[in-house]
Each structure stands twice: as C-alpha cells, then as structure tokens.
Structure 1
Amino acid sequence: MKEQITQPGSGARAIKAGLSAIMAAVLSACVNYAGIHSDKQMAQPQQYETTQSLPAESGHWPAADWADQFGDAQLKALLEEALKGSPTIAQARARLAGAQAYADTAKASTMPRVDAEYSLQRQQFSGTAEVPPPYAGTWQTQNTGLLSASYDLDLWGKNRESMKAAVSQVEASEADAEVVKLTLTTAIARTYNQLARLYVLHDIAQQEVGRREQIDRITAGRIATGLDTEVERKTAQANLATARSALAGLDGSILTTRYQLAALMGEGPDRGLAITRPALGVGDEVRLPDNLPANLVSRRPDIVAARWRVDAITHEVKEAKAEFYPDINLSAAIGLDAFGFGRFLTAASRTSNVGPAINLPIFDAGALRAQLKGRYADFDDAVATYNQTLITALSNVATQLAQIRSSDVQLGDAQAAQQAAREADDLAITQYKGGLTNQLTVLNADMNALQADQAVANLLMNRRDQQIALASALGGGYVDTSSESIHSAAAAAPSNPVVAAR
C-alpha cells in the first residue's frame, strides 16, 4: 500500500480553494434564510396590573417545609415518605437523567474524536479482475489496523448551540421535577385536609344521629299522652334512618380518602389504613410578600421550566441557521494494511492520510428554510407558553388570596348563624318535650342547626385548603438557582434566556 501524505504545495492550494468556497457559501447562505424571523417576546411580570389584586403585605415566601405550619407530625411524615417512594417522583428523576444524558451527548459533539479499528478478512481474489499476480486467483488474509481522529471546526457554532440547547433542556427538566414534587406534596396536603374535613363532618353527623334519637324518644312519649300520632313517629324514624345513612356514607368516604392518600404516596391501599385522624392547626397568618410579580418568576418552577424551554429553542434556532453554512471537518488517520501477518508489522505496510472534509449546502429544495421556519414556530409556541404560564401563575395567587379573604369574612357570619341555630334547636326540643310546639318546628330547627354546623366546618376546611393552594401558587419554597449552574455545565459564555429570537 502507498503512503498517502499531503504535499505542502497542494495543501496550501487546497486551503485557499476551501476558503474561497466557504466565503461563497456564506454569502449565498445568508440570503437563503432572509425574511425568516420572529418578533415574539417573553412577557415581563411588571407589565401586568397586579397592585390591587396582589398588594404588598410584607409577608414571607413559603419555605420548603411550608406544611409544617399546620403542626401535624403525621402530615410531615406522609410528605417525606411520598418524596422517597412515589413512582411519580421516580418518573421525574428518570426524565431528568435522560435530559442530562442527551446534554452529555451534545457536549461530546464539540470535542475531537479518536477511534481505533482493526479488521481481518480472508478473501479469494479473482484471477481476471484488477488484482495483479501473484495475488490473482489466490486466497489472502488482509489485515488492517487504523487509528483515526476527527474534529469538526464548528466555525458557525452549530454544535455549540446544540449543546447549549441541551443544557437548557436539562435545566427545564430539573424545574419540571420540582413541579412534580410540588404538585405531589400539594395534592397530599389537600387530600389530607379533605380527610380532616370528613372527620369533622363525621362528628357532626354523629351528633345529628343523637339528636334524631332524642326526637324519636320524645315523639314516642307524646304518642303515649295523645299529643302525637303514628305519622309523627314514622317521620321521626325516617329522619333517624336518614341520619344514620349519612353517617355510614362518611365512614365510606373516610376509608376511600385514606386509600387515595396511600396511592399518592406510591403505596398499596393497606398503607392508608394506618393513617390516623389528622390534627391540623390553623396555620400561619396569610400575608403576601413584597415585589411579588417580579420575584414570582424565580419562585414558581413551572415558570422557570417554561423560561428555560424558550432559551433552549432559541439555541435551536441558531443551530438551524448554522445549517446554512458549510461544515468543515478535519480528519487524520494512520495505520497498517497488509496481506498476511508476516508483512503487517513492517514499515512498508504503513498507511496514513490527513485533510479537511467540507460539506456545502447548495440546493436542498427548501429543506433548510422549512426547518428554520419550524424552529421559529417552536420558539413562538414556547414564548406563548411562557407568557400564559406567567399569567396563570399570577391569577392563581390572586384567586387563592381572594378566596381566603372571602372565607374569613364568611366565617364570622357563619359562626354567628351557627350559634343562633343551635340555640333555636335546643329551645325547640325543650318546647316539643313540654308539649308547647309540634314536631315540624323541631325538625326545621334541627335541620337549620345541622346545616349551620356543616357550613362552619366546611368554611374552616376550605380556608385551610385555600391556604395550602396559596403556598403552592407561591412556589412552595422553590428558588431558582439554575442561572448559576448553567455556566459550568455548558462550559461556555453566559446563556441567559432571551427575549426574542432574531
């Protein structure tokens, strides 16, 4: 085999010719994507009117252990257990690992590559083809060993932009994992609060059964004295049965809610049977932090994830633009190639080559333009998604705050109505027992008292549910630190999310 070595004169001419080709390709490529752009911009939180709906109240952002404010040790333990063993969390971690692996692959494309190859082939050569004697018509063993290296110069940054896009996707996946974590803990806390609601309603239902039993006994006594008839007795018995049925229904709801909690924790239904009655407290005072709209963008993981996806697609747009320019790949190889083993490790079997490979996109029937248009469409979609996520986040906070304030106002009136209804119920039963009123009056008073008790209980539980939802809407203690880690991960210049892709 002949040694393939580029001569100095021919190498200089080749480089000059290559540079000329590159310049011509650059000029033509710049024209090819003219007119393809986007003017979409990521919204700034300050541009939305929020001063009235989200007033500054000198409050604090939720801490990572925001659920501890309710003082329930069992809830804290359930949340910790869920974060360790939930398949939902495992899915998020797997997606993050996949994004990190893809980023590592993209980073590898920016580095030189070295390969080693060895092949052995036993072949009978034709006696009438191009192989000359003495090898024509004989069996020969061909040994080939080759050490090769290649490096894409990446003059237009295509590989670097691909790497930056992959790193931004990793950051988005990390924020997504926090979204999953926050969603799971919020769902558990709210379901746990629902369990507490059911226990309180169960207590009210149990008391109602006792009152209905009392009315039934009073009715029986009034029948004996001729004050009531069997109509009133059957009515009392029907109301008692209805109360007992409602109590049994709450027993079933408590059981199914325990099963729901077990499923959220990633456990079987039997795990729910070990969950005891909640002991939730009122929680902290609700006050919004200052400068909320501006700081919310780094406190909500869903907003952070959406922002990093815009950043990733921005780099993909730049990568697509770089496709219009020529690729220059430097490659070199050295090795041995010989028939048989005897001559394989000799100087005469040496083979080598070195040189650039240039890929020039000249005509592709519009494929590159279509690809770039698609990237810009993805960019517009990502920007719109980010803007909608920001709007939804602001609305969520305002909605939960409004509901909490409304519950506080309603609670005062509901408790006053409860007190009056309870006193009226007690007075009606006393009068009914003394023969001063009829059963219908007692039943109406009893129903009013029952509804008042349920209304107060539901308002209290609703307020705590809204408080949990508000902590979640404020990010649940999440703080974005990804803008610092991206520099070391990408080993490149700062890569902050952009406002628009040009």
Structure 2
Amino acid sequence: MTSPTRPTRASMRRGAIAAAVAAFVLAGCVNYAGIKSDKQLTSAGALETKQSLPGEGGQWPSLDWASQFGDPQLPKLVAEAIEGNPTIAQAQARIAKAQSFTESSRSNLLPKAEGSYSWTRERLSATSLYPPPFGGTWLNENTVLASVSWDLDLWGKNRARLNSALSQQKVAAADLQQARTALASSVARTYNALAQLYALRDIASREIANRKDVSTITNGRVTAGLDTNVEKQTALGNIATSQANLSDLDGQITAVRYQLAALLGKGPDRGLQIADPVLAPGGNVTLPDNVPADLVSRRPDIVAARWQVEAAMHDVKEAKAEFFPDVNLAAAIGFDAFGWGRFLTAASRQVQAGPAIHLPIFDAGALRAQLKGRYADFDLDVANYNETLINALSDVATQVASIRAIDREMSDAQRALDASTEAYRLAVIRYKAGLSQQLQVLTADNNRLAAEQTVTNLKMKRRDLQFALIHALGGGFDAQAAGLATPGDASNAANAQAAHASS
C-alpha cells in the first residue's frame, strides 16, 4: 500500500485552471439571452425645424447676458441669487453626493489591505479538546493578522459601476447649471414684472392728475350752470377709482419685491431695499445658426438627460457582468499563539492565500429580472432625453414666434395710443369750451388709458419673452467650456447605444 504524496505546484495549477473552466461553463446555466432594448436617442437633425428656427447669424447668449439690458442692478441681483438661493445649495449637495459615489466605486478597482490585532483572556475546558497543561487553565491568546484582497473584475462589473457613477456626477453638475440658468431667468423675469408694475403705476399717477384737471373743469361748468352735480360727483368718483388702482399697484409692487427677496435667498426686507428698475428696451432678436444641432450642448437640461442615458448604459453593462464568475485573490499572514512568549515566533505564523470564485448557477431568475429592470431604466432615460430635446426646440420656437407677434402688434398698438391721446386732448378742449358733454371726455379718457396700458404691457411682455428666450437657448451655458461635453452627438450616441443593446 503506497503512502499518499504531496500535490505538486503543477498539479495545483492544473486544478485551478480546471476549476476556472468549470466555473465558466456552469455560469452558462444563467444567461441574459433575449433581454435587450431597441430604444434610440432622437437626433436633433432628424426633427423638422427649418421653418420655425431658421439660421439668422445671431449669437448664443453669453453668461453675462443680464448686463445687456442697461440696468446695472439686474446682474448684481442675478449674482446674489446664485450665491444665496437654497436651490443652488441643494444642487451643490447633490454633486458632492455623486462625487462620494464615484470615489467609492473607484476604490473597488484597487486591492484592499487590512490589519487586525486581538487579545483574548480565556479559560480552556479541562474535559474538551485541549489536554493539560492548557486544559483547565487561564491563557492569553494573541492574534495579529494582515490581509490583502483584490477583485480582478474580469468582466468589467466594477469598471461599469465606476463609469455609471462618473456619468451621474456629470448629471449632477449639469443639473447645477440648469438650476443656475433657471434661477437667473426667474430673477430677471420677476425684476421685469416689478418694472412693469412701476410703469403702470406711473400711468395711474398721471391718470389721477388728468382726472383732477377734468374735475376742475367740471366744477367751473357747474358754477356756470353748464353741468349739474351729477357730472361733479362723476368726476370725483373717477378720481377715487384711479387712486384705488394706484393703491392696488403699490400692494402688488411690495409683493413682487418679497418674491425677489425669496429668489435672492434673503428675508422679505431685502426686497424693500431694491431700487426701482431702469431696464432698457430689448434689441432685435436674431437666432443663431444651427440651433437644433448646437442646442444639445447649450441647454444644461438636455446635457443632464444625455448623461443620464450614459449612466443607464453602464448600469446595463454592470448587470450583464453579474452573469459571469467573480474571481477574487486573497492573502493573509499573521501570528496566533497562546501566551506572550511564543507570540511572534516562526512557529506561531499562519499564512493563507488563494482565489475565491463566485459563480451564479441557479438564482430563480433574479439576475435576469435585475437586467430587465436596468433596461427599463435605460428605456425611460432615452424617452426622457427625447422628450427634453423636443420640448427644448418647441420652447425656443415658441418664444421667437411670440416675440415676432408682439413686434407686429406693437406698431398697431402705438398708433392706437397716438390717436386716442389726440382724441382725449381735443375732447378736453371742447369740454372746457362748452362744446361737448363730460361723457365724451370720459370715453376718450378711458380709451386713451386702455391704449397706454396696452402699449406698456406689450413692451414689458416682449422683454419678458426675451428673458424666456435666453433661458430657452441655455442662458450662456456651454457644455464644452463647462467640461460636461457628452460622448458624441445624438446620432452617434444612438448608433453606439443600438450596437450595445444588441450585443
């Protein structure tokens, strides 16, 4: 009878290779056959926009666009809001959280080393495994151990997780830019609303003066016996109505000031310190060339949606890698001894090393369900991107069309104001001369007042639409300059995605 022989290194190596091959074969029991996606990113060039968004040689908004409206207070308010609004702080916190996920994912690609020491005071049983002199006595057990482990990531699972985290970090950074753009636009549009209320208040103040003049004329006519107390009371009632309108506008002005203070991230008293707006009229509106193609890198919400798709693609890759075996290398060395005298001697050494293989054989469909969920997330993110792109193009086209419509309407409204102003002037002259009744003056006054309010509201609405258009064009954001350029344009990304989905 022959004695057993110690395994040679060659036989151990052959055994490890055979185990790895067997693991790979067995992993075939769990597979992702038939699970894929056919969703495609919409290319901006594939959408019909030539009539709605023609190239006009205009410029994209710059980051300091607020300074082009001639009011030095506006860019200062925008900067104050970006610095102090809680919305920005929330977006910055999301970036910090995304960075922590990235750092955690990156750590999985590197070996890990740990060290430990333990001391145990224990009494060993005299009737168990340990004979005297150990059994039945109190002993000190000392253990020190240093270990190293490394996940080889043969199928790229950890790399895919890191790439997904990096993409999510880009999403958070683009969301911050979107928050800044939206906040700047909100400040400008609210500031414009304040300017509109002040313009209407000026009209109301002039109207009170006009109606007081008419009341003076009426009093003279009553004394002369040309009018009665009816006309006198009517004139007084019109003055009171105008004064009530002025008080209402003052209340609205205060409310808008409070809204501005909230946008600045300050208390309501900050709004009361804002000086009266002195905004200049907006200039001509000319669209940049290649709006559909360039908008994908000029709108931070589109950039964020594109990076979200990229993150979902890497999540799919990670889920696919779960179907293959995990191979981890681990090694540990240390000392373990009872008592202190032999603790750090060669005889107390303990050493262990070897690979650990984890392979899925039967999981009741858990991995396939997980991959289906990742593909569903991918499909949702693709749909969200397509919706964001379509809505962005519609947003730009809508603002441009509205501005052009107001430009056409403005000339007619101005002519109506000029005519009604002259009619009012003539009516007052005739009334003062006793050639017409008070009713004719009041009718002309109401027409003139309505026409002046219409012109003022149109001017303010046009500037509001200009602010909205600047926001729709990205508010000066540039993905390339911000380090957030997406991996290829939409069409290339769609082709890459389709190739990946079918793999």
CA displacement 1:410-445 (0-9 Å, x = unmatched): 111111100001111111112122221112211111
Aligned to 1:135: 134
Aligned to 1:491: none
User: 1:173/1:482 Cα in 2 relative to 1: closer, same or farther (>3 Å)?
Assistant: farther
CA displacement 1:44-103 (0-9 Å, x = unmatched): 001110000001101111111111110211111111122222221111111101101111
User: 1:97/1:496 Cα in 2 relative to 1: closer, same or farther (>3 Å)?
Assistant: farther
Aligned to 2:231: 232
Q: TM-score, normalised by structure 2?
A: 0.94
Shift of the alpha carbon at 1:496?
6.7
Aligned to 2:315: 316
Shift of the alpha carbon at 1:131?
3.3
Aligned to 2:175: 176
The letter for the 1-side match of 2:217 is I
Matches of 1:484 and 1:356, distance apart in 2: 41
Aligned to 1:28: 29
Contact 2:27–2:359 (Cα < 8 Å) also in 1 = no
Shift of the alpha carbon at 1:17?
2.7
Shift of the alpha carbon at 1:486?
8.6
Matches of 1:195 and 1:404, distance apart in 2: 20
Runs of 4+ in 1 over 6 A off after TM superposition: 482-487
Shift of the alpha carbon at 1:484?
6.2
Contact 1:125–1:137 (Cα < 8 Å) also in 2 = yes
Contact 1:328–1:356 (Cα < 8 Å) also in 2 = yes
Aligned to 1:147: 146
Aligned to 1:480: 479
Mind listing any 5+ residue stretches in structure 2 that lack a counterpart?
A: 1-5, 487-491
Matches of 1:132 and 1:447, distance apart in 2: 114
Contact 2:27–2:361 (Cα < 8 Å) also in 1 = no
Matches of 1:351 and 1:400, distance apart in 2: 75
Aligned to 2:43: 44
CA displacement 1:303-330 (0-9 Å, x = unmatched): 0000000000000001001111111111
Matches of 1:429 and 1:409, distance apart in 2: 31
Aligned-partner SS, 1:480: coil
Aligned to 2:448: 449
Q: Which of 496, 499, 502 is 2:497 aligned to?
A: 499
Q: Which aligned pairs between 1:256-275 and structure 2 lie closer than 5 A?
A: 256-275=255-274
Q: TM-score, normalised by structure 1?
A: 0.94
Matches of 1:342 and 1:486, distance apart in 2: 64
Contact 1:61–1:474 (Cα < 8 Å) also in 2 = yes
CA displacement 1:160-203 (0-9 Å, x = unmatched): 00000000001111100000000110000111111111111110
Q: Which aligned pairs between 1:91-490 and structure 2 lie closer than 5 A?
A: 91-481=90-480
Matches of 1:132 and 1:416, distance apart in 2: 115
Contact 2:297–2:485 (Cα < 8 Å) also in 1 = no
Shift of the alpha carbon at 1:342?
2.0
Contact 1:25–1:326 (Cα < 8 Å) also in 2 = no
What is the number of residues matched between the two proteins? 489
Matches of 1:349 and 1:456, distance apart in 2: 95
Shift of the alpha carbon at 1:340?
2.1
Aligned-partner SS, 1:96: helix
Aligned to 2:57: 58
Shift of the alpha carbon at 1:293?
0.4
User: 1:485/1:129 Cα in 2 relative to 1: closer, same or farther (>3 Å)?
Assistant: farther
Contact 2:24–2:325 (Cα < 8 Å) also in 1 = no
Contact 1:167–1:486 (Cα < 8 Å) also in 2 = no
Shift of the alpha carbon at 1:284?
3.8
The letter for the 2-side match of 1:141 is N
Matches of 1:6 and 1:265, distance apart in 2: 76
The alignment yields a C-alpha RMSD, in angstroms, of: 1.9
Matches of 1:319 and 1:136, distance apart in 2: 53
Matches of 1:44 and 1:394, distance apart in 2: 12
The letter for the 1-side match of 2:157 is K
Contact 1:165–1:316 (Cα < 8 Å) also in 2 = yes
Shift of the alpha carbon at 1:7?
6.2
Shift of the alpha carbon at 1:221?
1.8
